[in-house]
Structure 1
Amino acid sequence: MYLNVHSQYSMRYGTMSVKKLVAEAIFCGITQMVITDINNSTGVMEFMRECRKEGLKPIGGIEFRRNKQLLYIGIARNKEGMKELNDFLTWHNLEQKVLPDSAKPFKHALVIYAYSSGIEAGALNENEYLGIRFDELHTLHGKDISNIKDKLVALQPVFVADKIEYRLHEYLRGIDLNTLLTMVTPEDKCRSTDRFLPPGELEAKFSKYAFILDNTRKLMDGCIMDYAQGKVHLNRKTFTGNKQDDKALLEKLAMEGMVYRYGKNNKTALNKVKNELKVIDDLDFCAYFLITWDIIRYSMAKGYYHVGRGSGANSTVAFCLRITDVDPLELNLYFERFLNAQRTSPPDFDIDYSWDEREDVQDYIFKRYGREYTALLGTISTFKDRSVIREIGKVMGLPKAEIDGFTDPSRATENRDNATFKKIMAIYQLMGAMPNQRSIHAGGVLISEEPITYYTALDLPPKGMPTVQWDMYEAEAIGFDKYDILSQRGIGHIKEAVRLVEENRQRKIDIHQVKSFMKDDNLNNKLKSGNSIGCFYIESPAMRQLLTKLGCKDYLTLVAASSIIRPGVAQSGMMKAYIQNYHDPKNVNYLHPVMKEQLEDTFGVMVYQEDVIKICINYAGMNGTDADILRRGMSGKYRSKMEFNKLVEKFHDGARALGRPEHITGEVWRQVFSFAGYSFSKAHSASFAVESYQSLFLKTYYPQEFMVAVLNNYGGFYTRWLYVHELQKAGAKVHLPCVNISTTVVSIKDADAHLGFIGIQGLESKFIELIPEERKQNGLFVDLEDFVKRTGMGLEQVVILIRVGALRFTGKSKKALLWEVHLMLGTKVRPVNDAELFQLERKRYTLPELINTKLEDAYHELELLGFPLSLSMFDLLKTDYRGDVRTDNLISYVGQTVKMVGLYVCEKTVHAKNNKKMWFGTFLDADGNFFDTTHFPNYTPIYPFRGKGCYLILGKVVEDFGFPSVEVIRFAKLPIKENPVLV
């Protein structure tokens, strides 16, 4: 009898998970019910699975609301009806139209209006009903209801399970409305009775109007959610329209690609490709491969550069189709990690594009495969973030200072006994795993065989592309395999650097000749020394340290480094063990003969996800499916905690059954667990390493163009000034922006680089675009007056350009220009003169000579660019002292206490084992070379980081595998010269 049941997917309103909803219904003796979440169908497919599992009859629906007010409830009579409801909501979402007062006349869906809405029975269509609540039955007394008798159904909404959840519901409403709990009105929330009633109670309340219950039962009995049950494949089933043609086309393309990649006579490659093709066909993945190939074909035809990575790079067929540039034969990659008959989770390809090309690729997919069949994948964030504590505090009306205290980790002990804090935490615990809001997945795309609205309504997030209302876990459970079309800045760096080299040096580069790059001693020497600023994935301080400690000088070592750099690996001590064993392979202490057998290539350390699987299979006797699921569970990609715990037991039971010693099993499990959650698949690491080599090639042979490309693609790990510094180190003369030369971004001609207008603080975006466009259309600017007239800029914007030096082409000092522009514009914004019949000569004034100092210029640049260019930060120091030691000879001071002066680059905070904080710093010395510092908890609170600037550092030089760093004892920021304008 429940036509209006809500789950947690009625976000910030409903309180029960789908699983709990079903459990509560069973407890109350309910045999069928309708899920009708507010303005979404997120939970419908999950609801059907859970109901069928427990023997209940599921019915899908949607409750339509506008401005918190109930309009009507849509109930699907069947699969077609669910599509109608989803289509109706989708159209309004995508067209951004408000929902109408009445629903459209559905053919396969029913509509229920609230009896209290006052809709006349005569106005109802055949498929429309009036839902009456039990507390409204008294209004029927004494009325002639013959004309509506057949249209009345029982309406008992369900939002909460009990009184505690009703209170939780009120907090959710307060958070949603951003108001105090006491300000949540009855109209803003459900009623306390909006829950499942005890068995027989609903029937008792409607006993005087049994025909209403009969109508309700009849309505529900006529609804059948005729969706296929069990494991189904919902992706587009063919590429060509015929499975046999798909198989033939894939084989043809793979064989042609094999010749391109391996030549005509490579029998190993031929056998591998044939074996993979059989598995792909057996598991019905031909269309998946062909569609991915089609996306790559389109992007390559457009001149876009891509990187295929993830587990898909385990496939030799994918390599032959040019989906990836990773050679699985060379790396002995495990195809079964990507696709095997036992694998329970769908495989996918991760295809990376430059940030400014991905959207066009996505647009192609929508056009090629049809908007009706294509959608972006959604995500659902939960209330797990501790910032929710702040939201709960606000709803309770607590002052900001008190809330700040509750969110301060250092006051955890003090808060533990605070009654208010306990109350907040009790609410937080109830909210923890609840959905908070729908968003968009980083890059997942679904291509369906049927119109996708059979399975979900679609949202229109800011990206402007239709997006499903559930996440990747639900997509997987329903039967969809996603295509990941991602973007990353590293590809933008490579793509633009190649273009700039062609423009600036008239030289074309084939950036895909990666195998020759890997054999280049110049590149490998850069790798070994950690000279990799700007290079994808290998520029962070931690990665540069690791490369130096390993003495990394080849591709395979870089592949391993790309995996062991992950946080959990370092924390578990396995990264240090790998470095040690790498340098001394003969003295590796293997925990067990199985570990030696499986991990000899990686010196006894689990480096890749595949290693985790191998150990689970060979040490603990697990099968491949369970091992892969366990690995996924440890990386947070498996949602059932109970199932995961069973697999953990299986690992230990299996090891015991094989006679493995308990103490060794404990250590093996510790390594497996600490590593698996952070590791890459080997193919993933190999893909990253390929891209790193491409970046490294450009940095080595075309460093100026490469650094300009890094700057123009939103940088990387570091802030902008460091890449400007690297550009200068590469031999480029870096100039301040100039209105007669600069473009929107950094430009380079020969060895002269000009900063662009992007990056000037306070300069409006319209002028960033207008200045170079106006210059292109009508020639160079003649003087300040000509510039102001042609751009129509106001005083404030012109002053910014003068102060940053962008009008120096006039030959006048900044001070003279500032006088001139104030006399010209005063405080008024000058309108644009579209056309002037003649020019009036402006009065000229003779000014005394006004000169700017380099120190004044540096302060202007600090303010407007974020860094000085006229002087270095070292030149700004009051002291001439630059330290007793520089980076170049730091290694010779190991064990000694030294004084250094360093320019702050970045810092990283970590928690030590005792839960105290420690810090790692990165600095430049006066020669422009990097050095690293370690700050222990006992010193850093006394000598803290104080942001950008130069620091005097006293510390002990230590060395780890040939890499020197400084353990800080004292630490102070050095003062700089006063701004002469303010003196």
Structure 2
Amino acid sequence: MYINVHSQYSLRYGTMSIEKIVSEAIGFGVTQLVLTDINNSTGVMDFFRECSEKGIKPIAGIEFRRDKKLLFIGIARNKEGMKELNDFLTYHNLEQLELPDVAPAFVHANVVYPFGHLGELLSNEYLGIHFSQLHELYDRDISAIRSKLVALQPVFVADKIEYRLHEYLRGIDLNTLLTMVEPLDKCRSTDRFLKAGEMESKFAKHSFILDNTRAMMNDCVMDYPLGRINLNRKTFTGSKKDDKALLEKLAMKGMVYRYGSKNKEALGKVKHELKVIVDLDFCAYFLITWDIIRYAKDQGYYHVGRGSGANSTVAYCLCITDVDPIELDLYFERFLNAERTSPPDFDLDFSWDEREDVQDYIFKRYGREHTALLGTMSTFKDRSVIREIGKVMGLPKSEIDGFTDPTRAGLNRNNETFKKITAIYNLMQNMPNQRSIHAGGVLISEEPITYYTALDLPPKGMPTVQWDMYEAERIGYDKYDILSQRGIGHIKEAVRLVELNQQRTIDIHKVKDFMKDPNLNARLKVGNTIGCFYIESPAMRQLLTKLTCDNYLTLVAASSIIRPGVASSGMMKTYIQSFHNPTAVKYLHPVMEERLKETFGVMVYQEDVIKICIHFAGMDGTDADILRRGMSGKYRSKKEFDRLVERFFELAEALGRPKEVVAEVWRQVSSFAGYSFSKAHSASFAVESYQSLFLKTYYPKEFMVAVLNNYGGFYSRWLYVHELSKAGAKVHLPCVNCSFGVVAIFGDDAYLGFIGIQGFESKYIEIITEERRMNGIYASLEEFVKRVGITLDQCIILIRVGALRFTGKSKKEMLWEVHLLFGSKVKPNNHGELFAVEHKDYAMPELTNTALEDAYHELELLGFPLSLSMFDLLKTEYRGAAFARQLSTFVGRPVRMVGHYVTEKTVHTKNNKKMWFGTFLDAEGEFFDTVHFPNSTPSYPFRGSGCYLIEGKVVEDFGFPSIEVQKFAKLPIVENPIMV
């Protein structure tokens, strides 16, 4: 009799999970019920599965609300009815329209209005009455509505404790105090399952209402197929036979392009993969992916295909990826095999400014009814939730800060308030909080997607399903990951700039040639990689140096062992040691030597985890892959995961593996698997790294401009400007006669853009550049003001940053002049004058600017000085007793250096103390690195950007020198002369 049940997916309202709802229903003797979450159908398919497993009849619907008002409840009579409800909600979400007071004329769905609704009811429409409203039927002629009355007993919570949780959720949702949550803002405390017989008792004098309710529910059936079925678009061409023929044709043509016509190994591998692809019905998936890439190439877009899909030779032949699986000994089964428990996917990376167009193509090519972005569900799981609970309780900020960071307030953990917060937090933890959008997942469906979900319209502006990737997998969808990254933007922009600036065309996809280039590999070996995708961070540059990395395969390994789990487990250090002394490697077990000799006994790739689970522990491929996914956080069932962990130990011991060896192997497996890449993934990153490295080596000026213009990278903007200067460019301040929004390069001259100027309004960027294009360069300050129509404050910003230096006047002169212009009411305009107005010259005293004043202007408006370096601003002329190039000669000795702060990284030691790693530039512009141990850092903390005096001992680790800091202080700079 429950036609209005809500789960936690009624966000910040319902308190029960789907599993708990079904469990509670069974406990109260309920045999059928309707899930009707507020304005969403997120949990419907999960509800259907759970009820089917537990022997309860599931019925689905949606409760439609506008603000706090219950409008009506839609209840699906079948699958078509659920689509009607989803379509109705989707239309209002996508068109951003308010829900109406009255439901449309559904054909396959019933509608229940709250009692008191006025208006004629259609044959499929009912009035829901709560037992507390039955008195309103007393002494009233109800003959006209007798057959329309149904019992409305909402279910939101399980018990009194959950009702209190519900009140906290409502307070958080409404951003108000718990005491300010009004009755209309929340459910009733009785809105839960009633004891067996209680419903009948309450409606005893109106049993016909229960009969009506039962009849309506009996008429409903969720006629969805049980289990996971393939819901993806089934064909690319419209025929499976034609799909097979087209895929084979494209693969064979691509094989000749990639390997030549006489490579028997490649031919055999392609034929084997094609058979698996056809047998597992994945032709359409490959062809749709190929079609997406084809469109991108036609538009001149760059892409990188990565992830486990790069294990496929067919994908390589179709140019979906640029990773050669034969060269890297990648096995196709990691991507696609008959026993794989989860759907495979390709990760396709595009430039950040081109991805949306690719997504738009997919929507247009395959239809909006059949295409949607994948959603995600964020949960209550971080410490910010405690802050929210504290606010709802009305606690002062200082006390809340004490709960979130006890060291700040010296809080007694036995505090009763804290205990209450902790209790609420524990109940709320991991509950759904809000729906969001997946990083790049796209679904392409055979049936309209609204059979399975309503669609949201997030800020991104593309229809998005209301559930996440895990639910998509369970239902039967395989996603296409259309991702974006700044690294591809760097490459694309650099190639374009080389064409414009040097009139040279580059084939950036000749990666195999790049890998053999000694100049690129020499740069890689010493970690000279600033700006290059994935290999520019201090940690990666150190690793490259320690590994003397001068080839593709070593770089592939480095891309995986840099991951946090490998480093924290100690396996990264083990790998480096073994790399330099392979004969000294001691393998834990002969199986480890047999399977991991290539990587010196260290699990470097996800594939290695599977190998060890299969060959050391004796697990089958399916369980091994589930275990790997579980450790990567990609498998939901903790119970299943725990079972497989036990199985790992049981099977290993059954094979006679020594217990202590099994324990150590498991430690390595578990600490590594959650953070590693697949080998194909690492190889894809390495391909992109080589592309960046090629551009940095042979076209460094254009490359660094591209990095600056894509606003990505590991470091602050000033460092890339520094690298641009080191590359041989003469870097100029912004100029109204030469600059654009972004950095522009003309030969060896690079002009900073207007976008980086603090406080400068973006609308003037387009006006300045367009006016200059239409009517020529600006001849004077007065003419500039008139032509651009700029305001006084914006013009002052340009003067102070040096963008009007073409006038030949000092900044102080121009500031006088511009105030006179505006003070004399010379109106700026955007049109030419009919008659030339005689310009009046005023006698000015001599007004000069100093380099120091200019540097402070630049520091304020650009975030860094360009006219001078930070070293030039120091009060001291001391630059240290050594420079970075000399550090290797000081190993084991104390040294004093002056360094310009670049970046820092905080890590936690095994005893949970903090230590830091720093990166600096010396006065010659070269990098050096520091280590700050816990015993020294609190006394000598980092204090942000600037220059530091550093004292410490030089140490060297596999050829990489660094300074173990003993004393550390930020150096003062000269005062701003403008402020003195």
TM-score bracket, normalised by the shorter chain, equals: over 0.9
Q: Which residue is 1:190 aligned to?
A: 187
**2:426 corresponds to which letter in structure 1?**
Q
Q: Secondary structure at the match of 2:929?
A: strand
Using the alignment, how far apart are the partners of 1:14 and 1:794 within structure 2? 53
Paired residue for 1:58? 58
**Residue by residue, what CA displacement relative to the aligned partner does 1:44-66 show, whole Å, maximum 9, x if unpaired?**
11110111111111111110000
User: Structure 1: how far apart are the matches of 2:771 and 2:222?
Assistant: 62
Q: 1:415 to 1:356 in 2, by over 3 A?
A: farther
> Percent identity between the aligned chains?
78
Q: CA deviation at 1:411?
A: 5.8
Alignment-derived partner of residue 35 in structure 2: 35
* Structure 1 match to 2:342: 345
Alignment pair present for 1:445 and 2:412? no
Please tell me whether residue 207 in structure 1 is matched to residue 209 in structure 2: no
Within-5 A mapping of 1:495-644: 495-644=492-641
Report the alpha carbon displacement of residue 448 of structure 1 after superposing the two structures with TM.
0.2
Corresponding residue of 1:99: 99
From 934, 945, 948, the equivalent of 1:937 is 934
Tell whether the 8 Å contact from 1:794 to 1:829 is kept in structure 2 after alignment: no
Aligned with residue 686 of structure 2, among 685, 689, 693: 689
Structure 1 segment 317-396 matched on structure 2, within 5 A: 317-396=314-393
Runs of 4+ deviating beyond 6 Å: none
CA contact (8 A) 1:795 1:829 kept: no
Per-residue CA distance 1:291-345 (angstroms, 9 max, x = gap):
0000001111111110000000000000000000000000000111100000010
Partner in structure 2 of residue 731 of structure 1: 728
User: Structure 1 residues 839 and 199, CA, compared in 2 at 3 Å: closer, same or farther?
Assistant: farther
Residues 345-364 of structure 1, C-alpha deviation per residue, up to 9 Å, x if partnerless? 00000000001111110010
TM-score normalised by structure 2 residue count = 0.99
| Cα offset, 1:415, TM superposition | 4.4
Q: 2:762 corresponds to which letter in structure 1?
A: S
Partner of 2:429: 432
Pairwise CA distance, 1:413? 8.0
The total of aligned residue pairs comes to: 980
2:946 equivalent in structure 1:
949
SS of residue matched to 2:938: coil
Aligned twin of 1:108: 108
Report the AA paired with residue 509 of structure 2. H
Is 1:862 the equivalent of 2:859?
Answer: yes
Q: Is the 8 A contact 1:32 1:59 kept in 2?
A: yes
1:760-801 Cα offsets, whole Å, 9 max, x none, are 000011112221111111111111111111111111100000
**Which residue pairs with 2:901 in the alignment?**
904
1:861-885 CA deviation, whole Å, 9 max, x = no partner? 0000000000000000010000001
Residue type at the aligned position of 2:199: L
Specify the alignment match of 2:794 in structure 1.
797
Give the direction of change, closer, same or farther, for the CA distance of 1:653–1:409 in structure 2 (3 Å limit).
Answer: farther
Report if aligned partners of 2:402, 2:411 keep a CA contact under 8 Å in 1: no
Distance 1:828 1:712, change over 3 A: farther
- 1:410 shift after superposition: 3.4
Amino acid aligned to 2:596: L
Cross-structure match for 1:969: 966
Q: 1:474 aligns with which of 461, 467, 471?
A: 471
Q: Which residue of 2 is the match for residue 465 of structure 1?
A: 462
In 2, Cα distance between the equivalents of 1:795 and 1:412?
A: 48
- The residue that corresponds to 2:146 in the other structure is 149
2:719 corresponds to: 722
Native 8 Å contact 1:951 1:974 kept in 2? yes
In 2, the alpha carbon distance for the partners of 1:283 and 1:26 equals 39
* Aligned equivalents of 1:916, 1:882: Cα separation in 2: 32
Matches within 5 A, 1:830-909: 830=827, 832-834=829-831, 836-909=833-906
CA shift, 1:891, in A, is 1.0
> SS of 1:193's equivalent?
coil
Determine if contact 1:235/1:448 at 8 Å carries over to the other structure: yes
Q: Whole-Å Cα distance in 1 between the matches of residues 319 and 16 of structure 2? A: 47
Q: Kindly report the root-mean-square deviation, in angstroms, between the aligned alpha carbons of the 2 structures.
A: 1.1
Match among 284, 287, 299 for residue 302 of structure 1: 299
Q: Secondary structure at the match of 1:531?
A: coil
1:13 maps onto 2:13 in alignment: yes
- Name the SS of the counterpart of 1:793 in structure 2: coil
CA contact (8 A) 2:401 2:408 kept: no
Q: Mean alpha-carbon deviation: is it higher for 777-786 or for 750-759?
A: 777-786
Separation in 2 of the partners of 1:88 and 1:225?
19
Kept in 1: contact 2:350–2:485 (CA 8 A): yes
**Is the CA contact 1:795–1:828 (under 8 Å) kept in the aligned structure 2?**
no
C-alpha distance in 2, partners of 1:828/1:568? 66
Aligned partners of 1:736 and 1:805: how far apart in 2?
7
CA distance in 2, matches of 1:945, 1:166: 48
Q: 2:118 corresponds to which residue?
A: 119
For residues 677-702 of structure 1, the C-alpha deviation after alignment (integer angstroms, 9 at most, x for no partner) is: 00000000000000000000000000
Assess, with a 3 A threshold, how the Cα gap between structure 1 residues 555 and 409 changes in structure 2: closer, same or farther. farther
Structure 1 contact 884–898 (Cα < 8 Å) conserved: yes
How do 1:211-226 residues align onto structure 2 when only pairs under 5 Å count? 211-226=208-223
Q: Distance in 1 between matches of 2:14 and 2:409?
A: 31
8 Å contact kept, 1:377–1:440: yes
* 1:119 aligned partner, one-letter code: L
**Distance across 1 between alignment mates of 2:29 and 2:6:** 18
Structure-2 separation of matches of 1:641 and 1:409 = 31
SS at match of 1:638: coil
TM-score by length of 1: 0.99
Question: In structure 2, what residue type is equivalent to 1:281?
Answer: V
Match of residue 71 from structure 1? 71
Aligned equivalent of 1:483 = 480
State the 1:833 CA deviation. 4.4
Could you report, residue by residue, the CA deviation over 1:171-224 in whole angstroms, capped at 9, with x for unpaired residues? 000000000000000010011001111111112111111110010000011011
- Contact 1:816–1:850 (CA under 8 A) maintained in structure 2: yes
Whichever residue aligns with residue 908 of structure 1, its letter is K
**Cα distance in 2 between the residues matched to 1:569 and 1:695:** 25
Q: CA deviation at 1:849?
A: 1.2
2:776 is the alignment partner of 1:779: yes
Maintained 8 Å contact 1:793/1:829 = no
The reply to whether residue 814 of structure 1 matches residue 811 of structure 2 is yes
Shift of 1:841: 2.9
Identify unmatched segments of 5+ residues in structure 1.
none
What's the offset of the Cα at 1:416? 2.4
Give the secondary structure class of the aligned counterpart of 1:230.
Answer: coil
Report the CA distance between 1:715 and its aligned residue: 2.8
C-alpha spacing 1:940/1:276, structure 2 compared with 1 (3 Å): same
Return 772-781 or 536-545, whichever deviates more. Answer: 772-781
Q: Which SS does the other structure have where 1:416 is aligned?
A: coil
Matched-pair contact (CA < 8 Å) for 2:346–2:480: yes
SS of structure 2 residue aligned to 1:461: coil
SS at match of 1:978: coil
For residues 630-676 of structure 1, what are the alpha-carbon distances to aligned partners after superposition, in whole Å with 9 as ceiling and x for unaligned?
00000111111111100100101111111111111111000000000
User: Are the structure 2 counterparts of residues 814 and 285 from structure 1 closer, same or farther at C-alpha, using a change threshold of 3 Å?
Assistant: same
Counterpart of 1:89? 89
Residues 715 and 723 of structure 1 are in contact (CA less than 8 Å); yes or no, is this contact kept in structure 2?
Answer: no
* C-alpha displacement of 1:897: 1.2
Checking the alignment, whether the CA contact within 8 Å between 1:737 and 1:804 is kept in structure 2 is yes
Shift of 1:385: 1.7
Contact 1:4–1:36 (CA<8 Å) still a contact in 2?
yes
Take 1:831 and 1:71, find their aligned partners in 2: how far apart are those partners? 56
Counterpart-to-counterpart distance in 2, 1:420 and 1:912:
32
SS at 2:586's partner residue? coil
Residue aligning to 1:22: 22
